[in-house]
Amino acid sequence: MTEPLLRRLHARGERIMVGALPWVAPVYRAMPQVADVIVFPFAHGGLQWQARRAMAASLRGRFDAAYVCPNSLKSALIPWWAGIPRRVGYSGESRLLLLNQRLHNPPKGERPPMVAFYSALSGDADVADDRPQLQLDSLLQTSALQTLGLTEQGYYVFAPGAEYGPAKRWPPGHFASLAAQLPLPVVLLGSAKEAALCAEIAAQAKALGAKTVLDFSGRTSLDQALAVIAAAKAMVSNDSGLMHVAAAFGTLQVAVFGSSSPLHTPPLSDKAQVLWLKNDASYQPALDCAPCFQRVCPLGHTRCLVDITPGLVLAGLQSG
């Protein structure tokens, strides 16, 4: 979702280097406007003062400006310690001294969609086409498909995980039922944390008669996962990072939303279809509780996801 911002900066002549954590870096390498990616050797969570100071020292004197996309305090420390002259970001989390070009940070309920939120850091006026775009190296894609035994357009991808929590995950049984109705093999993608979820879907799908279900959860690099999504016939996912990857590659997709809102983080692609019962006038009783943005359904029924049937998703795939 930061790609349109980087495209704007590149278009006006800025040479871009992105600082990213290891599990995000491959996505930035698939952006042609990014000259280089600096991989930050930080663990998830914690300030890690010493490591950040060392990284800042290695960057001193190399940059004219830093665009700080996350709202956290720790994300603004490196540009400040590195003495980068112009440090741009949203106000918040005690960053008054760390940033010297601050944008007003609206309350969560009043924020624009995230792509527009990030793109505003450029200071440019809004543009008509602000959709994320990724381009994968053709040799990398071919190598990944060969390694995994896949052929282009010869399979569907399911991304059943959502790190935020179960209130964003379409039920495993629904994924399994859909897999059993598709004419091509199904590839399951996810992290090692989602291996049990994917194994459950694979077992149920096979019991329902699915021909081929390939569970690659925790068994691919992010580079390989990008290649698999880019070459797929179509993808079905929850509101997740891989959903945005599919949109950026222009892959046909159906995105299932539950506790979150496609008004905030939509897949920005003409080939994306969103299923969200909140805005379905024919669905009764209406989902007055959505979007709740909770990790677990506060009411205990997760009706916003359970009532999106495999048939609805199948119709979305067939109409694409």
213-215 and 234-238 beta bridge pairing? unpaired
Listed residues 122, 157, 172: the one ending a domain: 122
Same domain? For 12 and 157 the reply is: no
Q: How many domains does the chain have?
A: 2
**Is residue 132 a part of any domain in this protein?**
no
**Is residue 137 a part of any domain in this protein?**
no
Same domain? For 117 and 147 the reply is: no
Listed residues 89, 122, 155: the one ending a domain: 122
Q: What angle do CA 34, 36, 41 make, to 5 degrees?
A: 120
**Is residue 127 a part of any domain in this protein?**
no
User: What range defines the domain where residue 55 resides?
Assistant: 3-122
Cα dihedral: 219, 143, 41, 15 (round 10): -140
CA proximity to 161, closest of 234, 103, 215 = 215
What is the pLDDT at residue 181?
98
Instruction: Give the chain's largest Cα–Cα span.
Output: 61
What is the pLDDT at residue 47?
80
Same domain? For 165 and 113 the reply is: no
What is the pLDDT at residue 269?
95
What is the pLDDT at residue 46?
74
What is the pLDDT at residue 188?
98
What is the pLDDT at residue 130?
85
What is the pLDDT at residue 163?
83
CA proximity to 23, closest of 117, 166, 163, 131 = 163
Same domain? For 101 and 247 the reply is: no
CA proximity to 4, closest of 158, 156, 178, 128 = 128
Same domain? For 185 and 307 the reply is: yes
0.85 exceeded by pTM = yes
What is the pLDDT at residue 127?
64
**Is residue 134 a part of any domain in this protein?**
no
**Is residue 160 a part of any domain in this protein?**
yes
Same domain? For 183 and 249 the reply is: yes
Distance CA 267, CA 245 (A): 9
Distance CA 26, CA 30 (A): 7
Q: Do the beta carbons of residue 190 and residue 160 sit within 8 Å?
A: yes
**Partners of residue 214 on adjacent β-strands:** 187
Neighbours of 73 (CB within 10 A): 13
What is the pLDDT at residue 44?
74
**Is residue 128 a part of any domain in this protein?**
no
CATH number, position 58: 3.40.50.2000
> CA-based Rg of the chain, rounded to a whole angstrom?
21
Q: Dump the DSSP string for 115-149.
A: HHHHHGGG-PPP-S---------HHHHHHHHHHHT
Same domain? For 295 and 257 the reply is: yes
What is the pLDDT at residue 107?
83
Same domain? For 172 and 117 the reply is: no
Q: Dump the DSSP string for 206-220.
A: HHTT-S-EEE-TTSS
Q: For residue 42, which amino acid is it? A: F
Listed residues 87, 122, 157: the one ending a domain: 122
Q: What angle do CA 103, 71, 35 make, to 5 degrees?
A: 85
**Is residue 135 a part of any domain in this protein?**
no
Mean pLDDT by 10 residues, the chain (320 residues): 95 96 93 96 82 95 96 93 97 88 87 89 79 93 96 98 90 98 97 95 97 96 96 97 96 97 93 96 93 94 96 93
Q: Provide the 3-class DSSP secondary structure of residue 156.
A: strand
Same domain? For 114 and 182 the reply is: no
**Is residue 133 a part of any domain in this protein?**
no
What is the pLDDT at residue 93?
73
Same domain? For 42 and 175 the reply is: no
Same domain? For 174 and 231 the reply is: yes
Same domain? For 302 and 178 the reply is: yes
What's the Cα-to-Cα distance from 6 to each of 11, 60, 131, 156, 257, rounded to whole Å? 9, 21, 12, 30, 27
Distance CA 250, CA 253 (A): 9
129 in the Ramachandran plot: left (φ > 0), alpha (ψ -120 to 50) or beta? beta
